[in-house]
Structure 1
């Protein structure tokens, strides 16, 4: 696993696997006012499903379309299922030998009850990068919720912080 984008994805999986076992099931599924009623479980599911959608598309050799992800409530409502799913995703990521494998991305854009669809060539590495940036964004939201509602949870310094932000901050100091 020499590719840094793949390594970053595994590191993000590790961040989630370090956070989630600290939570009680009730904390994981609790609707949080700060999140407009959504839960840490919903944000976690959302992260996981982008990687799962990419994995399924890659393995089936079909176009990836994130709008068509599963939306598996078991991941959202069951802490053990979420952790298992993250570990399975990390295991898959570690098997990637050709990150620049050519793929196709399909985007379904819903506006005013109309759906416009378009596609573009991409690579597995580019889509893993997309999933990583998406994960960082949702980890930042999860971090805010944890700090606000569950301040005893130990949160790693890098959780919810993009590597580019860390690099920029190091340049500034």
Structure 2
């Protein structure tokens, strides 16, 4: 398990270094964050995965499985490279589940105004958020992707903390 975490950390650092040169505006979002305790993420190192323009993600909550399409962005590619992972996501505001990742992802935060059920977003540079209700928001997020069919999503995620597994669709 320690070797897998070390391999994941090395891959994440290499990806972060590679993406730093890709966008001129990432320097503004790379301010050091205070250290947070490492979350309990179960992750398995995979052979180097190069996500394509349309990368599909499999999201499982309980016995329900949902398919999401990831954006073709550095943030979404970094998330895809970290797959698979199982996260214990916490509840917030009756409309979202969130989890603080141990590593920062590239950001390109924007204020969209409208959040749709099924949106998968990044708040800050390490808070993965899965929305299960649609609403208006003044917050800025980096859009990672969206679930294509959200029927049953709110029921699958429930009202408290929930274990959610993310993996690349095969």
Fold match (TM-score > 0.5):
no
TM bracket, shorter-chain basis: under 0.3
Rg larger in 1 or in 2? Answer: 1
- State TM-score, norm by structure 1: 0.27
Higher normalized helix content (fraction of residues): 1
